[in-house]
Amino acid sequence: MDFEPIAGTEELRKEFEDFFKEVMKDAPPGWENSPDDLATDEGWAFHRRVARELGKRGWLSLAWPKKYGGLGKSIFEQLTFNEVRAYYRAPGVDGFGMAMVAPTLLAMGTEEQREEFLPPIARGEVTWAQLWSEPEAGSDLANVQTMAVRDGDYYILNGQKVWTTGAHNADWAFAVVRTSKELTRSRGLSFLLFDLKSPGVEIRPLPTMSSHSRKVEAYFNEVFLDDVRVLVKNRVGEENQGWAITRATMNFERSGLAGLGGIRHSLDELIDFCKETRWRGKPLSEDPLIRYRLAEIAVGITAGQATARHVLWGQHRVEMGEAPAMEMVPRASSMKYYQTELDQRFVYLGCQIMGLYGQLKRESKWAPMAGKFERLYQSAPGPNIYAGSTEIQKNLVAWIGLGLPRT
C-alpha cells in the first residue's frame, strides 16, 4: 500500500480539527459519543445537529462519486476525516448508513437504489438500523427465521429481530430475511431495505447494564415485524442470494476505523491525569509499571492505525470493483478483533490506575476524571460481541486468512 498521499491531507486535517474543536464545545457534559450518550434526548439532538452540519460540508460522503452527493475526494481524505472525528469523539455520523449501507449500495446496489438512498445519507438527513440478529440467529446468522413472502411488487415480512441498535431513532432498516423455506440456511436469504415507520413495525426497548448505570433510556431494541410490506425493488442483489451482500456489508462494518482515535484521545487524558496526580509523594507518571502499561497501549494504537489504513484501502478497492469482497474478510476481522480487545484492555487499565476510586460514578465528588473510566468500563463488553464476537473473528481469520479447515 502507498502511504505517500496521506502527507497531502495535512491542510484538510487542520480544517477538520478546527471544526470539531468548535463543535465539541457544545457537547453535553461527560460526552464520550457512546450509545448511552446518544440515548438521551439532549445527546440525540446534538448528534442530529452535527450530522446536518457535516452534511452541508459534504464530509459524510467525501470519497463517493459526485453524482451521488459525494465530493469525489480520495480515500486518504476520508481516512483523515474518520481519524479526526474519532479523536474528538464527535457525533454526526450514522455508522449504519455511512459505513454499511452506502458502501454496500456503491458496490452492489442498482443505479435506482444508489440515486434514492445515497444523497440523504450524504446530507446527514437519514438514520439507518441494522435488522440482522434474532433470538436464534446471532453468531449463527444464517439461521435467520424472519420470513419474507412475495406478494406482487411487495414482500410481506413476519418475524422478530433483536439487539437492534438505535432502531427507535432510525428512519430506515437494512434487514436479512428468509425468502425460501426450501433452500436451507444462507442459501435462502435476501437483503431488504425498508422504512421503519411502515405499518406492522413495533419497536421495544432493550436495556443493558450500561444504560442502567447511567439511568438513560435503552439504546438497543427488539423489533417485531407483523405483515410489514416491503417493495421488491428495495431488495439488494438477487432473491435468495442475500448472503453474499450480507457478508460484504459485515466487512464494511468490521473495518473499525473510528474506535482507535477515541482510544487515543482518552489515552491523552489519562496521561495528563497521571502527570497531575500524586501517589505516595510522587506523580503517578513516575511509576514504572504505569509508564510501561501506558506505553503498551500507545504502541497498540500505532499498530492499529497502520492496520486500519490497510483495511480502508482494501474497502475502497472493493467499492470500486477492483477487488473481490472476500479479500476484505481476514483484514476486517483482524481489525475488529484487534481494536475492540485493545479498547477493553485500555479501559481496564484506566480503572486499575484509578484504584477503588475508579468505580465511583460521575455524581460523586471523589470520582476521578468525572467517572469517565467507570462509564467506559460498563459499556466495554458490547463491542467484543456486536458485529461478530471476538471468537467469530478469530474463526474467520483462521479459516479464510490462514486456510485452516472450516469449523
Ligand X SMILES: Cc1cc2nc3c(=O)[nH]c(=O)nc-3n(C[C@H](O)[C@H](O)[C@H](O)COP(=O)(O)OP(=O)(O)OC[C@H]3O[C@@H](n4cnc5c(N)ncnc54)[C@H](O)[C@@H]3O)c2cc1C
Cα–Cα distance, 211 to 219 (Å, whole number): 8
138 binds ligand X (CB under 6 A): yes
Instruction: Give the up-direction half-sphere exposure of residue 85: CA atoms within 13 A in the CB hemisphere.
Output: 21
Shorter beta-carbon distance to ligand X: residue 64 or 337 = 337
Among 61, 78, 146, 165, the residue binding ligand X under the rule CB under 6 A is 165
145 binds ligand X (CB under 6 A): no
104 binds ligand X (CB under 6 A): no
In the range 186-245, which residues lie near ligand X by CB under 6 A?
220
Among 139, 145, 184, 302, the residue binding ligand X under the rule CB under 6 A is 139
Report residue 157 CA to chain centroid gap. Answer: 26
Question: Of the candidates 105, 147, 112, 149, which has an alpha carbon nearest to the alpha carbon of residue 128?
Answer: 105
Among 82, 164, 246, 315, the residue binding ligand X under the rule CB under 6 A is 164
Among 10, 26, 226, 391, the residue binding ligand X under the rule CB under 6 A is 391
Cα–Cα distance, 225 to 196 (Å, whole number): 10
- Residues 336-375 vs ligand X: string with x where CB under 6 A? ----------------------------------------
As given in the structure block, the three cell numbers for residue 114 are 444508489
Shorter beta-carbon distance to ligand X: residue 258 or 274 = 258
Question: Would you call 31 helix, strand, or coil by DSSP?
Answer: coil
Shorter beta-carbon distance to ligand X: residue 274 or 332 = 332
Question: Would you call 96 helix, strand, or coil by DSSP?
Answer: helix
In the range 114-133, which residues lie near ligand X by CB under 6 A?
130, 132-133
Q: Which residues pair with 194 in a beta bridge?
A: 173
Region of 119-127, 257-265, 322-330, 386-394 interacting with ligand X (CB under 6 A)? 386-394
CB of 290 to ligand X, least distance (A): 30
As given in the structure block, the three cell numbers for residue 35 are 450509545
As given in the structure block, the three cell numbers for residue 193 are 431495505
Catalytic residue list contains 253: yes
Angle formed by the axes of helices 10-23 and 75-87, to 10°? 30
Query: Is 390 in contact with 342 (CB distance < 8 Å)?
Result: no
378 binds ligand X (CB under 6 A): no
CB of 160 to ligand X, least distance (A): 12
Cα–Cα distance, 129 to 150 (Å, whole number): 23
CB of 379 to ligand X, least distance (A): 8
Cα–Cα distance, 140 to 160 (Å, whole number): 16
Length of the chain: 407
Contacting residues for 183 by C-beta, under 8 A, at least 6 apart: 240
CB of 404 to ligand X, least distance (A): 13
**CB-closest chain residue to ligand X:** 138
Q: What is the DSSP string of 333-376?
A: HHHHHHHHHHHHHHHHHHHHHHGGGGG--TTSTT-GGGGHHHHH
Among 31, 163, 191, 377, the residue binding ligand X under the rule CB under 6 A is 163
Q: How far is CA 196 from CA 98, 126, 292, in A?
A: 18, 11, 49
Cα–Cα distance, 179 to 147 (Å, whole number): 6
Region of 157-165, 186-194, 282-290, 323-331 interacting with ligand X (CB under 6 A)? 157-165
In this structure, the number of other CB atoms found within 10 A of the CB of residue 257 comes to 23
CB of 122 to ligand X, least distance (A): 22
Active-site residue among 77, 83, 134, 253?
A: 253
Among 12, 149, 385, 400, the residue binding ligand X under the rule CB under 6 A is 385
CB of 140 to ligand X, least distance (A): 6
Region of 71-79, 268-276, 379-387, 398-406 interacting with ligand X (CB under 6 A)? 379-387
Instruction: Please identify every residue annotated as catalytic.
Output: 253
Which residues make up the interface to ligand X (CB under 6 A)?
A: 130, 132-133, 138-139, 163-165, 220, 382, 385-386, 388-389, 391-392, 395
